Structure formats: structure tokens, C-alpha cells
Structure 1
Amino acid sequence: MLSKIVIQNYRTFRNFRLDFDAEMNILVGNNDAGKSTILEAIDLGLTGKLRGRPLYQDLSPYLFHQDAVGEWIDALKGSRAVPPPEIIIDLFLELTPETAALKGNNNLLKADEPGVRIRVALNPDYEAEYKEFIKHPAKVRLIPTEYYKVDWLAFDGNGVTFRSIPATASLIDAANIHLQSGVDYYMRHILNDLLVPDERVKLTRAYRSLRETFAEDESIVKINDALRGAPSDVSDRELTLNIDVSQKSSWESGIVPHLDDLPFQFVGKGEQSTLKILLALNKRVDDAHIVLVEEPENHLSFPNLGKLVKKISEKCKDRQVFITTHSSFVLNKLGLDKLVLLSQTEGVRLDRLPADTQNYFRKLSGYDTLRMVLARRSILVEGPSDELVIQRAHMDTHGGTLPVESGIDIINVRGLSFKRFLDIAQLLPQNVVAVVTDNDGKDASDVKQRYASYTAHPNITVHVGEDAAFKTLEPQLFKVNDRATMNAALGQSFTTDDDLLDYMKRHKTDGALAIFQSNQTINMPEYIKEAVDAVS
């Protein structure tokens, strides 16, 4: 199994390190955070190949971290002699009798451990050409990769091959699995299980007979007669059309599966994506120690995603798995403790979450935990009415700008599960989180005391209406606005405060939507304004 990876100057990573879980690693992050790059780097370290081709054949200036390239070019223009950037991927393996031969300290950490290294560096054989190239720094725009070489080494400094690494990886990306090869394998897999040898012989004979009768069709006979008489500038032999009946052209490649009478290529993208992932798992995982899965949720509905995640878990048991995802469902089902939130320098793990919180999200997997993880600034609320009112409060104080347009996520945690989400928030100090909750007739200080262990962290604040006589959001709004203001905002004409307040309590969401959409100037309760300020 892999224990960690260290990357230098590869794609989005200038200097990056990540320790791995021995079983499951769920990689999440915003776009361009490097999720796919991690899978690619692992595959590259274990196979020496990028997208199925040896790295030296696909070496590109754009594989280098652009800041490193920019600093090198600036140094050349400043007449400072600096070595050109190198790409290094160090992949550390657990120490076992099988990996002991790869042990050494030829790695970025200088640790005496087993592992393999990909190093892309200037080839000494081309040093003279390189020096000539940099004599004119004003013309240098990109790394001259034609002067580079790729070394694939063990940590002891010796070269390695695919056979000398006692760990194999299977990279599964439905977007890059060609449909026809998947269909062929799918048919062979099913038919090999169902057909006895005698039935396979009969099927082969029937398929050959169909092809042989093709040339006997009246229309094909006429076409071939015309072709025989046509002049040819290519060959003196007769030209005709027929179907290949040689052994290499068997029924296994000619028969296409149908789902509900539709050829496979015409079924929905979700069905295709699921099947291709499962085919790849069946085909590759048996011989792989490490399984890399790229965003399995693509094109899938919620229930189908649940089935796929379960099958991935079952099929990959006793293997080390790496999955990239944008789906909270995938994250919750496979385990928040396995999450890795990627930054440019490292991965933040949530493996210190309480066991009951992990189980809570596994059981109630529809929660938007990934929004919580990825949001740099968020406000947690009890329900949709709070969400709408807080959005209006933000718009009032920020020139009509919605919170999401300012990078603030308002997350409805469906009642009173704040502590579950705050268990996550306290492990992510870079994420600013505010909680907005009702006092429910209790003293505000008592309510805040329930969250004291969380608010001890500087990134977490809790905001509660101070007056216990005003238990929920609606009375708090009514407290700071008169009846005329609220009637105007709600499009109502109540003549007593009690009737208006009763309407607001009975129509919480409708009232909140009316307030959100109203042009009426509305005062916001102080605790709402404080929450907005806390994340702004």
C-alpha cells in the first residue's frame, strides 16, 4: 500500500505532501484544487505513464508549475544563473518484504523508506544546447522540454520498471473508457458465465452463416457485378464487397448488447457511466492493489449513485482506494473520516471527527456536508425561512449582492444538527462559520453556552436573539419593525399585531419569501446582522 506522496513543480502543486489512509481516501476540493492531479501522479509513479503513454513521449512545458517557470524566466532575464525547474513525484510505500528492495533516501524528505520517484530534469547530454538556448532570455517563454529526460527510480537510486514495483494501480475514469471496448468485455463476461462450450460453438457457427449469406443477397450481387467490371488504377484483381469471416473477426466483436431493446450507445449517459465503471472494476481490480476512481457520480441520479457507491465499496474491499468527488452523498456514504480536503501544499483530513458524527452523516447521507467543507465562509441556519431572511439581510448591507455572489454559503442544516456540522468546522480553521439559531424562550447566554466548546475556536461564532420573550425568527422580526412595515413587506393588511404575528408564524416560508422579494425597507434583528458581519 501507499503511505504518502510528495510532489514538486507538477501541475498545480509547487510543494505538496499528503499522507494516505491505508483503505479509503476521498479527495475533495474546489475546481483546479488538484484532485485529478493526485490520481494522475499516483498512476504516473506506479506505471511511468501519463494517460497510457510513457511520460517522455508526452512531456510538455505545461506540466511544470507555472510559478516555478516564471521565477526561472525572471532569473534568466536578470542574468542570474539558476538551474531550470524539475518535476519530482515521490511515492512512498509501506515497508514490507516485497518493498524492501526499493528502500533508500533518494526522495524529497530524505527519509530512509521504500518508494519510487519520477524525476523530470535537464538531460546532461543536452547541456550545451540548453546553455545556447538561454543566451537570449528575452525569447524564452516556456521550459525547453526537448532538453529534458525522465528518470523512473527507486528510492535507492536505481532504475525501476513496471515489474519491479510490487504495487499495481487501476485508474478508472468513465469519461475515458471507450464504449466499444467496454461493450465487448461486457458481452464476453456475461456469455462466458452463461454459455457452455457446445452453445458457444453453435453461436459461432450461426454468426458465420449470417455473414456468409451476406454476399448472396440480390442487391450485393448486383453491386459486386458492377465492381468487377469497373476499371481500377490500384490492382488488377477483381474488387468485391463482403464481410470478413476470418477468425479474428468473431461474433464477440460483432454482437452489440441492447438494454430494453436499445443499442447500448443509445441508452442514457448515467446508465453508460455506471456500467463502464463497473466493467472496469470487474476487469482491472482483481489484479490491482490500488484503485483510483475519478468522480463516479457523473450523470447519475441519487438512487443510482447509491447503488454504484455500494458496489465500489464491495468490489474494492481489501484494496487501497482513492476517489475524487463533488458529491456529498459519496462523501457521507464512504465516510467523512476518509475525507481529504486539498490545498496547494497539503491535504486536510477529517479523521478526528467523533464516531457518532461520522455515523450520523452515513445514515443521513443527504446532508450537504461537502458544501460545509468547501465553503470558506458559511452561515448555518435551522430552516428555509431563516435562509431567505439572512440572504435579504446580506443584500441590504452589501448593495443588493446575494451571499453566494460574495462567496458565502447559507446552509440549511434541517433543524438542530448544528453540532454535527460544527464538529467538521472546528477541524477546518480556515473556514469561517456562523450559526444562527432561535432562543426558544431561553436566555441567550444559556443557548450560547451549549456551543462553548465550538466557539472557543476563532473561526466559529453563534448568534441568538437576546430577548427570551421573542422565541423565534418571526417575533424577532416583528419586534424591530412596526405593523405597517410588516404588512407592506408581506402584502397583507392586518389590523392587529396579534393577527399579523399569528399569520407570520403559520406561514413561515411564504412570509420569508415575501420579505426576501419585497422592496420595502425592513429592519433586521441585531443577531442576524451580527451573523452576516461575522462572515463578511
Structure 2
Amino acid sequence: MVIARTSADTEHIDENATKRVVEKLLIKNFRKFREFEMSFESGLNVIVGANDQGKSTIMEAVNLALTGRWQGRLFSGELNPHFINAEATQEYLAFLKKSPGEFISPPEVLIELYLSESNETNYLSGNNNSEERWCPGFRVRAALDDDLRNEYIEHIKHPSGLTRVPTEFYKVDWNSFNSKPVNPRAVPIRSAIIDSSRIRLQSGTDYYLKQIVEETLTLSQRSQLSAAYRRAQEQFSTEASIETINETLDMRKGSITRKSFTLDVDVSKNNTWGSALTPHLDKVPFTMLGSGEQSKLKIMLALARRADDVRVVLIEEPENHLAFGELNKLVHHIRQNSEEHQLIIATHSSYVLNKLGLSNLLLLGNTTAYSLESLSKETSKYFSKLSGYDTLRLVLAKRVALVEGPSDELVIQKAYKDAHGRMPIDDGVDVINVRGLSAPRFLELAEPLERECVVITDNDGDYESAKERYEEFLDQSFVTICIGENNALKTLEPQLVDANGYEKLNRMLGKDFGTDEEVQDWMENSKNKTEAALRLLESSEKLLLPPYLQKAVDALGKGNNR
């Protein structure tokens, strides 16, 4: 139900709020996501997530809600079973096979884009959304078409052969929150999407590039371009050589037809400048440029447009195909234009992340995205000063080992390789040196992502005190805390000496010490710590592990065959 709203309700609109065009995205049963929602900030938004985490789905969903198109084509004509979330599909098929003959609606696909209130978006306002909240926005819904209900019921009577959701019985609606169908020409918010990993060409011209060029030009300039192209077409048949060719063809038509037979240029509406003309750089056609140059050109053109022309720019992995110098220039340009547009960028690059700023970071989880602002003030401040490299590593890894120093990092890699025959990184396990006692901050970052973390730490002579530092994480299923319990063995080196003895360590280190104390003194010397760990890593002999390190290796290796 859509309720009325008085003009007094919209009389005052915060102009600062209008800079944030897209406020929130909600997804249901669409591709990667069963249920997902995320909020956006004004200016720059940098989305970071592992492979197959759904970054592309988010970018395309925002663009789909704003344009009604999927990769340049109308979504209503592109809908197929692969758009339906896999989990929702399996539940649907399981119900049909368990209860043949019973009616069940196929999974509904829903994308809702909540917009900021402004004078230009107010007419899109209503409460036809999942939150039943009055605000402007767009709603894309794909569900069973009532007009095809009887045919659908007949189709599912014999479900044994069904392996996918029958989307041929669906109807796609693209409405604003006031329940009215969207007129694409009247959409007040223009978007541009650039995916550098896919160069899509349609009739010689990339769809998005054509859109960018068209909207960069004024109405008068577009008219002049169309007229000039039409004149060039019409002049084709007046060329002397073409007239001669047409006379020859007409003479040889034989008895096929009595009508004049000639060749000419198609001047119908389908043959517009966009299907034949292509941008050139230094007289080289766009399609013949390198992938990096193509991607950079599209991004530059999109950002060059006035904010009034394009409000939302979506860029996926701008680092693709670009050398470091060119990437540096591009990132600088993106940064300069982040106040003109609302930018939503997906990246794997720690360099891009650092240059654009951790304050704009959105960490992608299974059901939502998290900003550093969702962390405690102290932790947020810590990560804002830290290089984005380690932050990105935690987000992208399947499992993470958090260690206190470089020697611990090398020993854990050695222990893992001894146990599993591979280095940790080969199994998606990243060993991160958190430099001292900052592991709890990384766990706070990992918590909303439910990233599996194993913490390996010294007891420093007080096991209970060391354990207390992680008290709030001890009951978390995704966290394993590994601390040596023997207070006499304060750090890594005495733990290793106790487990292996000096004779075995002599062989692995290439040394000739006479007692455990001698080898321990050498290993604990700050000048030798990293060298000792490196020699252990390079040794072909397996290292015997103290119980807390064995616990860590077992936790890191679990599920490798999943």
C-alpha cells in the first residue's frame, strides 16, 4: 500500500544529503546473495572482498536498479535461471521433489536502491519497499507472472526433471518506490559503470562508452553529430565510382526484378552514428587499443562529465591492465573527482586502497558490508594509520594466522609445510605478522566478516594474563587462540628448544652447540632470530612442535579438502 505524504514533509531537504545519491542497496535471491544489504557514503566508496564474494554483483545491481539494464541490455530480456541464488534454487527444487503436486511460488528476485531525498528524486518517493519506509528509490522485482500462473502450475506437476528455476514464467517489474513503472528517459540519476576486466563491444562500439560519449555531449552537439553522419551516408551514392558500380549491378539484375537494383547506405534509425563511429586515440580506433588504455579512457570520460549529467560512477578493479605509473595517474584522477560524483569502486589492490584511503573502505561480508566506522574508535584509528596491505590480506584470505614477529611467521610456515606438504598460501592461508600485541584489533576487524583466524602468541611468563587479552574472542567459533601454557617457556625459541633438543636443532640450523642453553641463547639473540627461523624453514628435516603450535597448524589446515 502506498500512503500519501504532504508537501510539508518534503519542504526542508538537507542539501548536504543530496551529495549522497545512493544511500542503500538491498538484494534478495540475486546471484551470489540470498539476502544482502549495504549502505553507501557520499563521495568515495571502496569495496574490498575476496574472489566470488559478490563485488561484481553489487556493482551490476546498483546499475540495474538505476537503468533497468544488465550489461547494457534490458534485464527483462536477459533473465535466466543463473540469476537466481543457488541456495534459493536448491530449496525450491527440494520442496518440489519432496511434495510433488503442491504449489510453491518460485524464488522472487528483488533489488531495491534507496536514494537520498532531493528536489530531483522526490517524485520517486513512496513506501513500496521492504522497509515500508517513505523515501525515494527504485525497485527491480522478478517473480512469477500471474498471467502465466496456470501454465506454471502445469509445468511443476512433474518436478523430477526440473534442475533449474523456470524463469520463463517470470515477469520483471522496474518501479520507483511510488509503485509506478520507471520511464528510463525520465530517470534523474545517471550512472556510468566501467568494468576493466570485460570489454563488451556491440556493433563496433562498447555500450557503456557510447553512453558516456552521448551524455558528455550537449543536445545540440549530439544533433550536429547525427546530422553530419547522415550527410556522410547520403554522399556515398553520389560518388562517381559508386554510380558506375550501381549502373553495372542494375544492368546485370536479369529477370530477378524490374525494379532498380543498387547498393546504398542504410539510413534507417537502426544505423546511427553509435553503431559505426568509434573514438580514436592518436588516430588509433578504440577497439584496437590495449585493454588498459580502453579501461582508462572510459574511466576518464565518465569522471569528466558534470555531476549534473552523471551522479553515480561505478568502477570495477581499475588496476586491471595498467602499469604502476599509469595506475598512479588514474588513482590520482579518481581521488580528485571523488567530490564531484558518488564513486563506488571495487578493488583487489592494496595500492589503490592506500591511495584512496582506508576511511572509505567497505569490507564485504556474506550478508552486508562493514566500514571501519563499525569498529571501536581505537581500532578504527589503528587501521586508518596502518598500510592497507595487511588489511586487504585479512579480507581476501580463506584463513589467517596472526603472529607476533617475523621469526614466528617463518616457523609457522615451516610447521604448516611439514604437516600438509604445501606452503600455507597455497591453501589460501595467509600468515600475517601483526607486529607485537595488536592481534585483538585484527580479530575485531575479522569478526563481522567471520574470517577464520588463528592467533599464535607468546605467554611472556604469564599464561593467564596472555589469555585474558583475548577473553572476548574465546567463545567465537571463527577464532582459535594458541598460547604456550608453560610459563617457564616464555617465547617461541625456548618452546622450540624444549620440543626438539639441541642435537636435532644443530642439524637443522647447521650449528654445533653442546647444550640446550647454548642453542637457545643463540636463537634468542636479536641478531639471530630471523636467521634461525629461516634456517629451520629451509631444513629438509621436520620440526617437532610444542602443543600450542600443533594446535595452530591443525586449525589452519582444517577444511582444506572442502
Question: More deviation in 10-19 or 133-142?
Answer: 133-142
User: Aligned-pair distance for 1:171?
Assistant: 1.0
Letter of the 1:416 partner, please give it.
Answer: G
User: Aligned-pair distance for 1:287?
Assistant: 1.5
| Separation of aligned partners in 1, 2:262 and 2:183 | 50
Residue 485 (str. 1) matches residue 540 (str. 2):
no
In 1, are the aligned partners of 2:250 and 2:261 still within 8 Å (CA)?
Answer: no
| Separation of aligned partners in 1, 2:111 and 2:315 | 20
Of the three residues 349, 352, 368, the one matched with 2:374 is: 352
User: Aligned-pair distance for 1:100?
Assistant: 2.7
Residue 524 (str. 1) matches residue 545 (str. 2):
yes
Residue 153 (str. 1) matches residue 152 (str. 2):
no
**1:379-407 C-alpha deviation (Å, 9 max, x unpaired):** 222444322211222344x4545434555
Residue 512 (str. 1) matches residue 533 (str. 2):
yes
Within a 5 Å distance, the mapping from 1:449-488 to structure 2 comes to 451=469, 458=476, 473-488=492-507
Of the three residues 89, 93, 110, the one matched with 2:132 is: 110
Cα distance change on mapping 1:286 and 1:532 into 2, 3 Å: farther
Residue 448 (str. 1) matches residue 469 (str. 2):
no
| Separation of aligned partners in 1, 2:39 and 2:433 | 33
**1:449-508 C-alpha deviation (Å, 9 max, x unpaired):** 894687577466665667888775445433443322112112334557647853784454
Of the three residues 267, 281, 286, the one matched with 1:257 is: 281
What SS does the corresponding residue of 1:367 show, helix, strand or coil? helix
Give the TM-score normalised by the residue count of structure 2: 0.72
> What is the aligned partner in structure 2 of residue 381 from structure 1?
403
Give the TM-score normalised by the residue count of structure 1: 0.75
**1:242-268 C-alpha deviation (Å, 9 max, x unpaired):** xxxxxx99xx96995359xx9987876
In 2, are the aligned partners of 1:122 and 1:148 still within 8 Å (CA)?
Answer: yes
Quote the RMSD (CA, aligned, Å).
4.5
Of the three residues 65, 73, 88, the one matched with 2:85 is: 65
| Separation of aligned partners in 2, 1:530 and 1:423 | 18
User: Aligned-pair distance for 1:178?
Assistant: 6.1
> What is the aligned partner in structure 2 of residue 21 from structure 1?
41
Alignment identity in percent? 40
Of the three residues 424, 433, 436, the one matched with 1:412 is: 433
In 1, are the aligned partners of 2:26 and 2:111 still within 8 Å (CA)?
Answer: yes
User: Aligned-pair distance for 1:4?
Assistant: 1.5
Within a 5 Å distance, the mapping from 1:29-428 to structure 2 comes to 29-77=49-97, 78=99, 79-177=101-199, 256-258=280-282, 269-283=291-305, 287-302=309-324, 304-353=326-375, 365=387, 367-375=389-397, 377-396=399-418, 398-400=419-421, 402-404=423-425, 407-413=428-434, 415-416=435-436, 418=438, 421-422=441-442, 424-425=444-445, 427-428=447-448
User: Aligned-pair distance for 1:365?
Assistant: 3.3
| Separation of aligned partners in 2, 1:126 and 1:174 | 39
| Separation of aligned partners in 1, 2:285 and 2:187 | 41
**1:13-37 C-alpha deviation (Å, 9 max, x unpaired):** 2222223333333223222222111
In 2, are the aligned partners of 1:285 and 1:316 still within 8 Å (CA)?
Answer: no
In 2, are the aligned partners of 1:104 and 1:112 still within 8 Å (CA)?
Answer: yes
Unpaired runs of 5+ residues, structure 1, are 193-203, 209-214, 216-220, 240-247
Question: More deviation in 19-28 or 483-492?
Answer: 19-28
> What is the aligned partner in structure 2 of residue 4 from structure 1?
24
In 1, are the aligned partners of 2:461 and 2:490 still within 8 Å (CA)?
Answer: no
Unpaired runs of 5+ residues, structure 2, are 1-20, 218-227, 233-238, 255-259, 264-271
| Separation of aligned partners in 2, 1:255 and 1:427 | 48
| Separation of aligned partners in 1, 2:365 and 2:378 | 27
What SS does the corresponding residue of 1:156 show, helix, strand or coil? coil
How many pairs align?
491
| Separation of aligned partners in 2, 1:62 and 1:14 | 13
Letter of the 2:55 partner, please give it.
Answer: K
In 1, are the aligned partners of 2:22 and 2:113 still within 8 Å (CA)?
Answer: yes
In 2, are the aligned partners of 1:447 and 1:464 still within 8 Å (CA)?
Answer: no
Cα distance change on mapping 1:266 and 1:504 into 2, 3 Å: farther
Cα distance change on mapping 1:8 and 1:88 into 2, 3 Å: same
**1:167-204 C-alpha deviation (Å, 9 max, x unpaired):** 2221111234569868x99xx99xx9xxxxxxxxxxx9
Letter of the 2:537 partner, please give it.
Answer: F
What SS does the corresponding residue of 1:166 show, helix, strand or coil? coil
In 2, are the aligned partners of 1:504 and 1:511 still within 8 Å (CA)?
Answer: no
In 2, are the aligned partners of 1:332 and 1:369 still within 8 Å (CA)?
Answer: no
What SS does the corresponding residue of 2:373 show, helix, strand or coil? coil
In 1, are the aligned partners of 2:43 and 2:338 still within 8 Å (CA)?
Answer: no
| Separation of aligned partners in 1, 2:499 and 2:161 | 66
